[in-house]
Structure 1
Amino acid sequence: MTIHRLLATTLACALTAALATAWSEAPPTQPARPTATTVRTTEPARPAAATTVLTHDGPVRGAAHDGYRTFEGIPYAAPPVGRLRWAPPHRATPWSGVRDATRPASACPQPAGEVPGGSTDEDCLHLNVTTPDGAGPVRPRPVIVWLHGGGFTTGAGSSYDAHRMAVRGDVVVVTVNYRLGALGFLAHSGLPGSGTFGLADQQAALRWVRAEIGAFGGDTHNVTLAGESAGGYSVCAQLASPAAAGLFDRAIIESGPCTGRPDRPFAPSSVPLPTARTAGADLAAKAGCGSARDVLACLRRVDVSRLLAAQDADQQPAHTTPLLPVDPAVAIAAGHFHHVPVLIGDNHDEGNGWAAGIIQAGNPVTPDTWPDVVAAFFPSSGRSSGQAKAIVREYPVHRTDGGPVFGAVIGDADFACPTARTDGLLAAHVPVWRYEFADEHAPPLTPGTPPFPLGAPHASELPYLFDLGGRPRDLTAAQHRLADTMIDYWTRFARTADPNGPSSPHWPRQTVLSLAPDHVVPTRTVQTRHHCAFWNALG
């Protein structure tokens, strides 16, 4: 495998491995996932007022916990199967009786990883609601809608146990499944919705929230759209999508900079529709439908497992489409986006996980190999180009520091500096608060011993906000305090559009807030530390 192919493949593995580990370590008594169509009409064991909620499609019965309630596997759209495979989401079919919402539904089709054994169940357009217990406050609670990451190929809303955020922040949290991989982002000429079916699903979920969340104690007029990695970039896309107008009131973007570039295989981004159509034609050929008289009819008959085997490891939404008329980076640079307050940030060592994975796969980074690695990371440059030589000069590799240097290049080029650029573009029009998660001793997300200390890599902030896979990570007392502080910031932002409050250090809008157990302080050195002047000049 070439280094460049390994770079792209590793993208889909980092967060997947983290959450797969969390699922595999879950208590053995955790119930198995039911099919998405499970509907039971038995009377609820607990009082109806506590766990049964009436939606427009029918009543759902959730589960009561210590201080909160959960409602899992609620359909927000019809199963995208048969003629609805590669169609815009349709309204879910109403049901009679009380629907069992005590367990998560199937994840959307994806290879094995985060979801043990993977998934081939297309009946997956479901969401999960976590709401604090009790009769509720005088006013409805703010709502946070969470879009999971996973490179647009893996992930599930049910991987994110949001009860700590819901209870401490007194908010309602909704986690969402959306179509992934080729089933979510196939592009083909003559196919309405080409390249954006997964984004359309997210909008359908937001419309469901506007219509239904009041019954769960949420404020239909105070919805924050949030996500990490591909989920964060999805928030960028929704900011730029005219069809998302009025569907959310604030935005949180974690490690998904809106100005990421598709020619680099880490930070999520979108591609032009012609590029996406080329990938769609390749998929059709691999699936045995390339020469069919009706390619789409043929593809709709192909088994899911065969589609998963044929799709590329790297997936992106398409722009220059009706849902996403222009690249979000272009839209945001022009000020053509939904003007809502934004909380945005990334992690101090975003690239270290990928660098470690590539080294462990048998690709050492040494002074001798470093120019070739750079040329692979920037494939249009070539080893002898001025760009590659400039990067090698700016980031010299010595005998023992190849891994951290490689990680710094990935993190600076694809996360820290694009996040800084996105911050500046957004701040010209809306209030923006920017953070950098910097806990160098964050609990590891993957098993085993890495070839070098990872610091605060991609996705390492997630256990501070969620119990991944329903299982809390081991945190020190100081890390628990940091987790509480972060939840306070995130949920106050959702409540008032300002993360500041009397119980937390002040977060100025003009600086980056560094988040670590021993310090939560504003800093002005982020751009210098991440060589952003160099990357801005390099282009």
Structure 2
Amino acid sequence: MPDLGKIRRWCVALLLPVVMLPLTTLPAGAAPGGERPVVETDRGPVRGRSHGAYRTFEGIPFAAPPTGALRWRLPEPVPRWKGVRDAGAPGSRCVQLPVLAPGGPVGSEDCLFLNVTAPTGSSARGGLRPVMVWFHGGGFFSGAGDHYKPERLAVEGGAVVVTVNYRLGVFGLFGHQELGGAPGFALADQRAALRWVGANAERFGADPHNITVFGESAGALSVCAHLTSPASAGLFHKAVVQSGSCSTTTPPHALLPGLGTYEPFVPERRTVADGALAAARLGCDRPTGVMDCLRRLDARTLATPELMQGFSLVSYGNSALPEEPRRALEAGRFHRVPVMQGTTQDEMRLFLAQTLAAHPIGDARAYRARLELSFGVPTARAVEAAYPVSAHPTPAVAWATVLTDASFLCPTLRDGGALARHVPTYGYRFSDRDAPDFTGLPQAPGLPLGAAHGFELPYLFTLAPLTGPQRELADRMTGYWTEFARTGVPGAPQAPHWPRYRPAGPVLSLAPGADGIRTVDARTEHHCALWDARWPGVTSSG
């Protein structure tokens, strides 16, 4: 039998391999430096590092350590410190389990730190710079802000970039009746970081009234939640959603027969019921004082695969997130800010590649069986007609294409239509099928990764070497992203115009080469009318 727990960590962890990669390249103008600039924050001065064209201030606490009696409490303010606090290195990462390596938990519960990367000198345009606040991916049970090096966005794009840690797994998304439900500590941590940015942005040369939240995968799901959360009102002014829309859902048995539907947003009552069962298994089954009992347990006792993965879903049905985010979008109940969102062209290939050895798709018969298992016979026939094996290099590529369109591309376009009825919206598809594979994950015969989940990240962050044409694409993407943060309209020098998204309208395809950036009819290319009709639980309100 395959190790389903390990495979699930591979499939849901959403870009965790980024954590193991060293910094490989630096943008032009960056250089190590001995200067230690000091900035006065609202809690005390911090001493960062100068790198020539940019400065970094790392490991700044934005909330009190959520330890001891503060475990499973909403974040509290950091006490003011005396003297100058060293901000020359990242703070501790939040408690998590290694995804690809053996071993027990790593990180610390004292992990609510953020990192600031700011261009050196004044803005070429004058005035304060835009702020971009990054929420990392990792399936809500792994990852950290310092994995992502945003020098390109700062130096070339002129933005101040903040990367954030937030509580993960059972520490971040646990629920129990003694907590009054499932408060969503992970999202509360992110809100605390946004409040810190609002209070301190100007001290780093940035505009507290021009804050963009952006994230990929679980980070994108976080952005979606903030868009529809009353508790996040006024904390940001623009949003970028990368490969994790409000409607992202993977069908049952998509990767393995034993895996059910992946739904990132679940009713609070489900999380509370799971919390009661978990407390009983941990020996804290009692009429009262359950949380006191749980708070006395060591972090290593809590940081098991079952608890970290079991509590990696965001709860709705409470004051912070009253309704399922996709339903809120459909009803127009979200914050009126400009939104840029998109996916990669081959999202699901990365996840499917990790399960093919355990559950291969060797021929058309196996492909048809997968379709019927996940969608039922009538829908399977319609899907097979639209996605015949003969139109793809292998049955595995055909299945990955089905899953990408059903789980990511068409739900994202559907959300785009809901957003575009009320706010300026811009859609993209990252389409570089030669993008560097920086994941370290095993390859699968017959399934090239192409433009897989997260493969746009090296074009925004310093993660992997790029070819000449890819560097040109990275320059344009950096321009689009940072100009959107600056003005609400994505644009880049010598790059094609990016039109606003309209329901059933075109999106911008991003790839290297002379004609690599162009508009495409993604709804038609990815059979979204079929998914609207045949899988309404995900792509329509039916």
- Residue 473 of structure 2 is aligned to residue 482 of structure 1: yes
Q: What is the CA–CA distance in structure 1 between the aligned matches of 2:397 and 2:436, rounded to whole Å?
A: 18
Retained in 1: the 8 A contact 2:216–2:241?
yes
Distance change >3 Å, CA 502–CA 394, structure 1 → 2: closer
- 2:119 matched residue in structure 1: 132
- 2:413 matched residue in structure 1: 420
The one-letter code of the counterpart of 1:144 is M
- Residue 439 of structure 2 is aligned to residue 446 of structure 1: yes
- Residue 367 of structure 2 is aligned to residue 373 of structure 1: no
The one-letter code of the counterpart of 2:208 is T
The one-letter code of the counterpart of 1:434 is G
Q: What is the CA–CA distance in structure 1 between the aligned matches of 2:531 and 2:4, rounded to whole Å?
A: 20
Q: What is the CA–CA distance in structure 1 between the aligned matches of 2:382 and 2:334, rounded to whole Å?
A: 35
- 2:30 matched residue in structure 1: none
Retained in 2: the 8 A contact 1:256–1:268?
no
Q: Deviations over 1:431-468 (max 9, x none)?
A: 01111000010001233543221110000000100013
- Residue 329 of structure 2 is aligned to residue 341 of structure 1: no
Distance change >3 Å, CA 522–CA 400, structure 1 → 2: closer
- 1:121 matched residue in structure 2: 108
The one-letter code of the counterpart of 1:450 is A
Distance change >3 Å, CA 234–CA 116, structure 1 → 2: farther
1:403 to 382, 396, 409: 396
2:57 to 60, 71, 84: 71
Q: Please state how far the C-alpha of 1:281 moved relative to its aligned partner.
A: 2.5
Q: What is the CA–CA distance in structure 2 between the aligned matches of 1:94 and 1:266, rounded to whole Å?
A: 46
Q: What is the CA–CA distance in structure 2 between the aligned matches of 1:5 and 1:326, rounded to whole Å?
A: 30
Q: Deviations over 1:98-125 (max 9, x none)?
A: 1110000111111014899652410001
Q: Deviations over 1:158-187 (max 9, x none)?
A: 000001110101110000001111110001
Retained in 2: the 8 A contact 1:152–1:230?
yes
Q: Please state how far the C-alpha of 1:22 moved relative to its aligned partner.
A: 1.1
Distance change >3 Å, CA 478–CA 405, structure 1 → 2: same
Distance change >3 Å, CA 26–CA 189, structure 1 → 2: farther
- 2:495 matched residue in structure 1: 504
The one-letter code of the counterpart of 1:133 is T
Q: What is the CA–CA distance in structure 2 between the aligned matches of 1:439 and 1:334, rounded to whole Å?
A: 34
The one-letter code of the counterpart of 2:527 is H
Distance change >3 Å, CA 480–CA 268, structure 1 → 2: farther
The one-letter code of the counterpart of 1:234 is S
The one-letter code of the counterpart of 2:11 is L
Retained in 2: the 8 A contact 1:347–1:436?
yes
- 1:10 matched residue in structure 2: 10
Q: What is the CA–CA distance in structure 2 between the aligned matches of 1:82 and 1:240, rounded to whole Å?
A: 31
Counting matched residue pairs gives: 510
- 1:301 matched residue in structure 2: 296
Q: Deviations over 1:268-297 (max 9, x none)?
A: 631011111222233323433345752211
Q: Please state how far the C-alpha of 1:200 moved relative to its aligned partner.
A: 0.6
Q: Please state how far the C-alpha of 1:87 moved relative to its aligned partner.
A: 0.8
Distance change >3 Å, CA 193–CA 209, structure 1 → 2: farther
Quick check: 312-321 or 2-11, which moved more? 2-11
For 1:230-309, list aligned pairs within 5 A: 230-261=218-249, 269-291=264-286, 293-309=288-304
Q: Please state how far the C-alpha of 1:26 moved relative to its aligned partner.
A: 9.9
- 1:433 matched residue in structure 2: 426
Question: Aligned-pair RMSD on alpha carbons?
Answer: 2.6
Quick check: 523-532 or 171-180, which moved more? 523-532
1:163 to 127, 142, 151: 151
Distance change >3 Å, CA 375–CA 308, structure 1 → 2: farther
- 2:540 matched residue in structure 1: none
Q: What is the CA–CA distance in structure 1 between the aligned matches of 2:401 and 2:109, rounded to whole Å?
A: 38
Q: Please state how far the C-alpha of 1:374 moved relative to its aligned partner.
A: 3.7
Question: Secondary structure of 1:360's match?
Answer: coil
Question: Secondary structure of 1:358's match?
Answer: coil
- Residue 97 of structure 2 is aligned to residue 97 of structure 1: no
For 1:187-266, list aligned pairs within 5 A: 187-192=175-180, 194-261=182-249
Q: Please state how far the C-alpha of 1:21 moved relative to its aligned partner.
A: 3.7
Distance change >3 Å, CA 4–CA 417, structure 1 → 2: farther
Quick check: 363-372 or 351-360, which moved more? 363-372
Q: Please state how far the C-alpha of 1:55 moved relative to its aligned partner.
A: 0.7
Calculate percent identity across the aligned residue pairs: 44
Which ranges in structure 2 are unaligned for 5 or more consecutive residues?
27-32, 253-259, 537-542
Q: What is the CA–CA distance in structure 1 between the aligned matches of 2:274 and 2:384, rounded to whole Å?
A: 32
Quick check: 110-119 or 52-61, which moved more? 110-119
Q: What is the CA–CA distance in structure 2 between the aligned matches of 1:112 and 1:261, rounded to whole Å?
A: 25
Question: Secondary structure of 2:327's match?
Answer: helix
- 1:107 matched residue in structure 2: 93
Question: Secondary structure of 2:426's match?
Answer: strand
Question: Secondary structure of 1:467's match?
Answer: coil
The one-letter code of the counterpart of 1:487 is T
Scaled by the length of structure 2, what TM-score is found? 0.88
Q: Deviations over 1:176-209 (max 9, x none)?
A: 0011111100011131461411011111100000
Which ranges in structure 1 are unaligned for 5 or more consecutive residues?
28-43
Quick check: 493-502 or 417-426, which moved more? 493-502
Retained in 2: the 8 A contact 1:187–1:195?
yes
Q: What is the CA–CA distance in structure 2 between the aligned matches of 1:177 and 1:193, rounded to whole Å?
A: 23
Q: Please state how far the C-alpha of 1:94 moved relative to its aligned partner.
A: 1.2
Question: Secondary structure of 1:359's match?
Answer: coil
Q: What is the CA–CA distance in structure 2 between the aligned matches of 1:148 and 1:423, rounded to whole Å?
A: 22
Q: What is the CA–CA distance in structure 1 between the aligned matches of 2:368 and 2:460, rounded to whole Å?
A: 38
Question: Secondary structure of 2:213's match?
Answer: strand
The one-letter code of the counterpart of 2:96 is Q
Question: Secondary structure of 2:439's match?
Answer: coil
Quick check: 520-529 or 140-149, which moved more? 520-529
Distance change >3 Å, CA 268–CA 436, structure 1 → 2: farther
The one-letter code of the counterpart of 2:58 is E
- 1:39 matched residue in structure 2: none
